[in-house]
């Protein structure tokens, strides 16, 4: 079995991605629980606005790591994406107000208000929030488990450093030119050179470039990605798409987690309900074969749908069914 | 019953919104089928990239209306959102190349490439595509049924006319100022005035303003919106959010369609399978009461999950269970 199963290979950061509702938080909590039980100091970070980590452990968490009652070595925190987005906008506003005139600020505010509700803004704020956790909160932990993973346009942000690099170089060149002109007009004034060094726009761009460089490097060298999906066609198709997006960014998906599989009825059950379940189980089995044969990352877990909430003993059950090294 | 059930009140456009995977296409096809059977000339427009309208009627459709075999008075068409997005970008590029210098075009192209993959671009192209259908394809039909509805940032686009109006006025004012200056410098030259009239940037903005005015007016006066959801908590929450977004835009959601409900087992069934189904049915029933009591729009259909594809007789069944006037 050892050669077959996927492992997180000791990476510090483990991401469980997938569409909303597939059960990323449950799987993340189960995995984090198992890591902690195996002796790794573990932090589970949730970005689920429904606070399901609090539900799983029956304990309220906030935006700072807090230890989980009854599970040694496990901490949890919840990031509220709406809060993060607001903070993100406020930061942009603040840093702008230092850089441009008051008239420009009101114009830009209007633009920001319009962009606020776009899906891109939400994803971008979320990405910032979890890169922040990676930079500032991860130090005491062997494992940091996220119940989300970047996809689509967010993954594309990892290409930003290069783009920003060009832009910064060009901006620096233009600034230099205008400062040279300025100096020719006012010889002996040391002010312009100082302006170049402390330029807040360029400073901000440099910061962002470093931020995305850190994110890209860490995700390539010290992170493992798993994708959670449900056995319906839409979820399978989305998983195919996500695998492609990761591959395009040189990030490898380590394994796939099939969640919410329909349970089989007992062998002696007949009747309408049993027939319905058997047909459903059959269809899902076909779909899983399709995933096993057609997709590159291995299927590392098949977790049955439960009518009760996943917590306590059930969490240990789910954890045991994950064929992923803690 | 007549007072209780929701009706499309004779509006020409009927939208079935909801998240991916809830079954919007099936419900739309069933409703369109019923409208046609009741004598209304009907067009069903699908934006589902999986071509499920083709699956439902076992017939291939393209981006022009085509009559559905075996169903009198029913036409169908499929819009491919990816194609629409590409066309959208090409159009922007083309119209830009007429308006700005070559150097600017290459810079703008770079920005466009970056924006291409954002969720906003997709939604915006989709919105354009279905407003286009409303403007140019709807004339021969009593009913045009869409298997999607604008939400979130797309609904916000309906506020654009006002925004663009201000912008156009300001641009016109600035242009006038510079043309006045130009005329003072070159008295007697008629060229500048002509420039103002045929200005391609202003022309384009005016076009867009009219486009969104048409969209907003039509959606407020001649469209009915229904939301399709599944009986899981995530889908219910998203429906609550969508209702709010519609209300914020002065658009009223006419009714809610619960789809993919778990079927009950036979009364005499016992065993693991039957227990699982009963618990599930119970949970879903609670959720539907929550929807019935907590949400303003009425629940107009409760459609059971089926293990077979919805087509033929099953389509007629689903159509019959929709408590919506054709």
**Position of tokens 């005015």?**
B213
Task: Give the Cα separation of A254 and B35 in Å (integer).
Answer: 49
The per-residue pLDDT for range A80-129, each reduced to its tens digit, is: 877 877 877 787 777 767 666 777 677 667 666 666 655 567 777 788 88
The per-residue pLDDT for range B15-33, each reduced to its tens digit, is: 999 988 888 999 999 999 9
Terminal-residue alpha carbon distance, chain B: 15
pLDDT at A12 > cutoff 50: yes
The per-residue pLDDT for range B82-97, each reduced to its tens digit, is: 787 787 778 777 776 7
Closest B-chain CA to A308: B279
The per-residue pLDDT for range B101-126, each reduced to its tens digit, is: 776 677 667 666 666 655 567 777 78
Cβ contacts of B233 on chain A, cutoff 8 Å: 50
Task: Give the Cα separation of B130 and B79 in Å (integer).
Answer: 8
Q: What is the mean pLDDT of residues A152-157?
A: 73
H or E element at residue A133? helix A119-136
Look at the domain A6-325 and name its fold: Rossmann fold (3.40.50)
pLDDT of residue A326: 67
Q: How far is C-alpha B202 from the chain's CA centre?
A: 28
- Nearest CB to A269; choose among B234, B269, B305: B269
Give chain B as a 3 state SS string: CCCCCEECCCCCEEEEECCCCCCHHHHHHHHHHHHHHCCCCEEEEECCCCCHHHHHHCCCCCCCCEECCCCCCEEEEECCHHHHHHHHHHHHHHHHHCCCCHHHHHHHHHHHHHHHCCHHHHHHHHHHHHHHHHHHCCCCCCEEEECCCCCHHHHHHHHHHHHHHHHHHHHHHHHHHHHHHHHHHCCCCCHHHHHHHCCHHHHHHHHHHHHHHHHHHHHHHCEEEEEEECCCHHHHHHHHHHHHHHHHCCCCEEEEEEEEECCCCCCCCCHHHHHHHHHHHHHHHHHHHHHHHHCCCCEEEEEECCCCCCCCHHHHHHHHHCCEEC
The per-residue pLDDT for range A162-219, each reduced to its tens digit, is: 666 777 777 777 777 777 777 777 655 555 555 556 666 677 777 888 888 898 899 9
pLDDT of residue A20: 80
- Do the Cβ atoms of B119 and A117 come within 8 Å? no
pLDDT at B277 > cutoff 80: yes
The per-residue pLDDT for range B198-234, each reduced to its tens digit, is: 666 677 777 888 888 898 899 989 999 999 999 988 8
A180 versus A224: the higher-pLDDT residue is A224
Of B144, B147, B150, B129, give the one whose Cα is nearest residue B48.
B147
Helices (H) and strands (E) in chain A, counts: 12, 10
pLDDT of residue B194: 54
Task: Give the Cα separation of B149 and B226 in Å (integer).
Answer: 8
Please tell me the number of Cα atoms within 13 Å of B294 on its side-chain side: 13
Task: Give the Cα separation of B231 and A162 in Å (integer).
Answer: 45
pLDDT of residue B282: 95
Classify burial at A216, counting beta carbons within 10 Å of its beta carbon; exposed 0-12, middle 13-18, buried 19 or more.
buried
Q: How far is B139 from chain A (nearest CA, A)?
A: 33
Q: How far is A7 from chain B (nearest CA, A)?
A: 31
A253 strand-pairing partners:
A225
- The CA radius of gyration of chain B, in Å to the nearest whole number, is 24
| Token pair of A140 as six digits | 């005491």
Instruction: Report the alpha-carbon angle B300-B318-A264, nearest 5.
Output: 105
Residue B24's alpha-carbon distances to A121, B130, B189, B263, in angstroms, are 27, 16, 60, 19
- Do the Cβ atoms of A114 and B235 come within 8 Å? no
Q: How far is A118 from chain B (nearest CA, A)?
A: 5
**Position of tokens 């130009």?**
B182
pLDDT of residue A69: 94
Collapsing DSSP states into helix, strand and coil, what is residue A324? Answer: strand
Domain ranges of chain A: 6-325
**Position of tokens 């910064």?**
A168
pLDDT of residue B296: 95
Of the pLDDT bands very low, low, confident and very high (cuts 50, 70, 90), residue B4 is very low
Task: Give the Cα separation of B167 and B106 in Å (integer).
Answer: 25
H or E element at residue A83? helix A81-97
- Do the Cβ atoms of B277 and A273 come within 8 Å? yes
- Do the Cβ atoms of B273 and A272 come within 8 Å? no
Cβ contacts of A305 on chain B, cutoff 8 Å: 276
- Do the Cβ atoms of A272 and B283 come within 8 Å? no
The per-residue pLDDT for range B242-258, each reduced to its tens digit, is: 999 899 888 889 999 99
- B253-261 vs B299-304, strand pairing mode: parallel
DSSP class of A262: P
Collapsing DSSP states into helix, strand and coil, what is residue A259? Answer: strand
Cβ contacts of A269 on chain B, cutoff 8 Å: 269-274
Of the pLDDT bands very low, low, confident and very high (cuts 50, 70, 90), residue B190 is low
Q: How far is B174 from chain A (nearest CA, A)?
A: 16
Of B196, B298, B293, B224, give the one whose Cα is nearest residue B255.
B298
The per-residue pLDDT for range A56-89, each reduced to its tens digit, is: 898 999 989 999 999 999 999 998 877 877 877 7
Task: Give the Cα separation of B64 and A110 in Å (integer).
Answer: 39
Of the pLDDT bands very low, low, confident and very high (cuts 50, 70, 90), residue A45 is very high
Chain B residues 55-94 with a CB less than 8 Å from chain A: none
Chain A residues 12-41 with a CB less than 8 Å from chain B: 20-21
| B321: Cβ contacts below 8 Å, ≥ 6 apart | B301, B302, B303
Query: Does the interface ipTM go beyond 0.85?
Result: no
- Kindly state whether A298 is in contact with chain B, defined as any CB-CB distance less than 8 angstroms: no
Of the pLDDT bands very low, low, confident and very high (cuts 50, 70, 90), residue B6 is very low
Asked if residue B161 lies in contact with residue B213, where contact means CB atoms within 8 angstroms, the answer is: yes
The per-residue pLDDT for range A129-150, each reduced to its tens digit, is: 889 999 999 999 999 999 988 8
pLDDT at A160 > cutoff 80: no
Asked if residue A43 lies in contact with residue A297, where contact means CB atoms within 8 angstroms, the answer is: no
Q: Which of B234, B273, B278, B284 is most worth mutating to test chain A (most A CB atoms within 10 A of its CB)?
A: B273
DSSP class of A158: G
Of the pLDDT bands very low, low, confident and very high (cuts 50, 70, 90), residue B151 is confident
- Do the Cβ atoms of B265 and A271 come within 8 Å? yes
Number of Cβ pairs < 8 A linking chain A and chain B: 101
Percent share of chain B, pLDDT over 70: 81
Of B36, B26, B108, B38, give the one whose Cα is nearest residue B67.
B36
- Do the Cβ atoms of A307 and B235 come within 8 Å? no
Closest A-chain CA to B22: A234
Task: Give the Cα separation of A93 and A95 in Å (integer).
Answer: 6
Phi, psi of A321 (to 5 degrees): -85, -5
Task: Give the Cα separation of B157 and B163 in Å (integer).
Answer: 10
Q: What is the mean pLDDT of residues A267-296?
A: 94
């Amino acid at each position: 079995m050892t050669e077959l199963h996927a492992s997180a290979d000791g990476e510090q950061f483990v991401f469980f991605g997938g569409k909303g509702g597939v059960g990323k938080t449950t799987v993340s909590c189960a995995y984090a629980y198992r890591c902690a039980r195996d002796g790794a100091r573990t932090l589970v970070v949730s970005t689920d606005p429904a606070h399901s980590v609090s539900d799983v452990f029956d304990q309220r968490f906030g935006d700072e790591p807090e230890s989980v009652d009854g599970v040694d070595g496990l901490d949890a925190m919840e990031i509220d994406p709406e809060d993060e987005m607001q903070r993100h906008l406020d930061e942009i506003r603040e840093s702008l107000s230092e850089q441009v005139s008051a008239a420009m600020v009101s114009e830009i505010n209007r633009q920001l208000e319009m962009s606020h509700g776009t899906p891109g803004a939400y994803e971008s704020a979320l990405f910032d929030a979890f890169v922040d956790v990676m930079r500032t909160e991860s130090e005491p932990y062997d494992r940091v488990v996220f119940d989300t993973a970047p996809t689509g346009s967010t993954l594309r942000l990892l290409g930003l450093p290069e783009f920003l690099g060009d832009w910064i170089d060009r901006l620096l060149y233009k600034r230099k030119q205008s400062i040279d002109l300025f100096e020719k007009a006012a010889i002996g004034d040391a002010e312009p050179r100082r302006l170049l060094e402390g330029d807040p726009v360029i400073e901000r761009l440099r910061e962002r470039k470093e931020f995305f460089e850190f994110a890209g490097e860490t995700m390539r060298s010290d992170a493992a990605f798993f994708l959670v999906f449900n056995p319906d066609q839409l979820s399978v198709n989305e998983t195919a798409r996500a695998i492609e997006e990761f591959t395009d960014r040189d990030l490898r998906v380590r394994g796939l987690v099939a969640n919410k599989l329909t349970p089989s009825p007992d062998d002696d059950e007949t009747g309408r309900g049993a027939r319905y379940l058997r047909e459903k189980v059959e269809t899902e089995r076909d779909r899983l074969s399709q995933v096993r044969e057609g997709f590159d990352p291995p299927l590392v877990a098949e977790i049955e749908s439960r009518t009760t909430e996943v917590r306590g003993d059930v969490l240990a059950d789910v954890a045991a069914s994950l064929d992923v090294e803690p």
